[in-house]
């Protein structure tokens, strides 16, 4: 049986985030507003979404150390996460956000 623990999970997460950062850096800033279809996130919005995607898990396990949602203000957290995700950012700000949030989670 192969053991896949915290170290391996962290390494895998960092590899995926590194690849996401490479892609985010290669996309021209002029394309960050591109939407593949009406009603879907733009490239920049999708990258911001990826950046904040781990916020719930980080708050539950990394900050508060909770084992359940009992007494947890999920609505408040999600309101803050959605507000953070929806901020307009430049390409450089988006790439920085991806790097910082990825390393925080890892």
Residue 9 is predicted with a pLDDT of 87
pLDDT(17) > 70: yes
Residue 40 lies in a domain: yes
Widest pairwise Cα distance in the chain: 48
Q: What do you get for the CA distance between the two ends of the chain, in Å? A: 25
**How do residues 31-55 score in pLDDT, each as one tens digit?**
999 999 999 999 999 999 999 998 9
Residue 1 lies in a domain: no
Integer Cα distance of 34 and 90 in angstroms:
14
How many domains does the chain contain in total?
Answer: 1
The residue among 47 and 3 whose pLDDT is bigger is 47
Residue 51 lies in a domain: yes
pTM (two decimals): 0.86
82: domain range? 6-105
| Segment holding 99, helix H or strand E | helix 91-105
**How do residues 71-95 score in pLDDT, each as one tens digit?**
999 999 999 999 999 999 999 999 9
Integer Cα distance of 7 and 12 in angstroms:
9
Inter-CA distances, 51 with 38, 70, 71, 89, Å? 22, 26, 26, 12
């Amino acid at each position: 049986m192969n053991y896949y623990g915290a170290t391996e999970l962290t390494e895998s997460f960092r590899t995926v985030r590194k690849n996401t950062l490479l892609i985010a850096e290669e996309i021209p800033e002029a394309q960050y507003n591109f939407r593949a279809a009406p009603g879907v996130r733009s490239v920049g919005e999708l990258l911001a979404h990826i950046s904040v995607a781990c916020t719930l898990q980080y708050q539950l396990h990394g900050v508060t150390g909770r084992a359940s949602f009992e007494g947890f203000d999920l609505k408040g957290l999600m309101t803050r996460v959605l507000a953070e995700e929806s901020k307009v950012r430049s390409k450089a700000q988006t790439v920085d956000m991806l790097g910082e949030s990825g390393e925080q989670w890892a």
